Structure 1
């Protein structure tokens, strides 16, 4: 958990600095701010269910892929028939930026998730201003009150909310939150080990009101076919595509195989 504590401490400093540079009024006057969001939750129910990620690096894996531009990756994912795209916007630990969000938005007509460590309503307004349709809330770093407040803020401006949990304790404090999707992260934050058994274990505890999403450690189509039996409709896949030279082609082949077995 130490890395997460460090990331959040840095995030508080980053957000306070940004507030002094770009006022809320400027975010709200952005061309994209009044754009109608595309629902990721609805797309997951009717499409391939794959949320493909743009991620350059991570604290656990260091460099994943620094050589590709986000427009090409996003277009490749859209061509592959993904249901949505996740864009990492954290700079210090993941090598992302809000510009990545902007370039992805300009390139595709799909729901885009801003993947970051959301701790302040300011970041939600920022996400909307830069073209995101969905925000991620991580139960491990927020109280129930914070989760409720941030989710309501996002919903009030037409955005979808993906709420991420790692265990039963985090799930319990998430059930009163106005989220569209609950994502189960299969990565153990203490050991960094990954197992889709975590998604299976928590599946029956997630009410049907939420679209179920499984995150991390999904590297083959058989795992998805298995997780569908537990009610999962969304599958967030990052490194599996990004570690290749052509993430779009990799995603296309993956989804083609998936359609042939489910």
Structure 2
């Protein structure tokens, strides 16, 4: 069993537990459920194009930064030009929680991506209830049919969809309703990084699809290379979060970009 399989197994238990404690109606009655969402499709075309991530830890890296509060970090991300914010809400493997989104929702005006392993309809109502604007669909743990159904549900709830792919076979998960396609430079099963592999996949997508390079962007050269190859956006977390002050690191990085 690889790490992705383990995560999904844990996620299934977590969802079952959540359903037993909080009903769908309770989610619909929450503070943020009726709020108008912000569009990542629009903001990715402006500012830096970076979806800056708040992430405490990961299965491959262990603890990255568990000292800084979410609001301090994401406020700096927004101030210095992030197009969106990515928040990990998985607790067991990434140290996240819903509170990480709830604590910042009323304080920032750019879109928030709920980054998690979305495998059940219930989770999309959760995402809406905590104030997310965008959800991540990971092709590696979904069928093309599930991607289509979850995309339709997301749009009914006013949420945009970022579909994440890593292999050529996963291109079949794409459909024309998808808002953005993220291509993960890091293989979720063995965590190897290959930027050229991502470029090759991007070139097989329709030309007008907004493409996001995800993970494994470790320096300005990586960023500029992917930008030159036509990527519209860049999901980056570890590069900033591994520093004592992620906001300062983000400001420094953006100031050196060719935007």
TM range (shorter): over 0.9
Q: Distance in 2 between matches of 1:190 and 1:161?
A: 22
Q: Which runs of 5+ in 1 are unaligned?
A: none
Q: Distance in 2 between matches of 1:113 and 1:190?
A: 22
Query: Counterpart of 1:131?
Result: 131
Query: Counterpart of 2:3?
Result: 3
Query: Counterpart of 2:199?
Result: 200
CA deviations over 1:62-91 (Å, ceiling 9, x no partner): 100010111111111111210000000000
Query: Counterpart of 2:217?
Result: 218
Report deviation, 1:47. Answer: 2.0
* Comparing 189-198 and 42-51, the one that deviates more: 189-198
Q: Which runs of 5+ in 2 are unaligned?
A: none
- Check 1:18–1:108 CA distance in 2 against 1; reply closer, same or farther (3 A cut): same
Q: Distance in 2 between matches of 1:47 and 1:183?
A: 18
* Comparing 182-191 and 66-75, the one that deviates more: 182-191
Q: Distance in 2 between matches of 1:23 and 1:208?
A: 41
Q: Distance in 2 between matches of 1:209 and 1:152?
A: 20
CA deviations over 1:196-245 (Å, ceiling 9, x no partner): 11221112111134210000111222222221222211100010000011
Report deviation, 1:56. Answer: 0.4
Query: Counterpart of 2:243?
Result: 244
Report deviation, 1:150. Answer: 0.7
Query: Counterpart of 1:73?
Result: 73
Runs of 4+ displaced beyond 3 Å: none
Report deviation, 1:177. Answer: 5.6
Query: Counterpart of 1:41?
Result: 41
Q: How does 1:157-236 map to 2 (within 5 A)?
A: 157-171=157-171, 173-176=172-175, 178-236=177-235
Q: Distance in 1 between matches of 2:31 and 2:63?
A: 33
SS of the residue aligned with 1:135?
Answer: strand
Normalising to structure 1: TM-score of the pair?
A: 0.96
The answer to whether the 8 A contact 2:111-2:132 is kept is yes
The answer to whether the 8 A contact 1:79-1:248 is kept is no
Name the count of aligned residue pairs: 259
The answer to whether the 8 A contact 2:43-2:84 is kept is yes
- RMSD of aligned alpha carbons: 1.2
Normalising to structure 2: TM-score of the pair?
A: 0.97
Query: Counterpart of 1:108?
Result: 108
The answer to whether the 8 A contact 1:51-1:235 is kept is yes
CA deviations over 1:144-170 (Å, ceiling 9, x no partner): 111111111101111110000001101
Query: Counterpart of 1:255?
Result: 254
The answer to whether the 8 A contact 1:80-1:249 is kept is no
SS of the residue aligned with 2:103?
Answer: helix
Query: Counterpart of 1:90?
Result: 90
Query: Counterpart of 2:22?
Result: 22
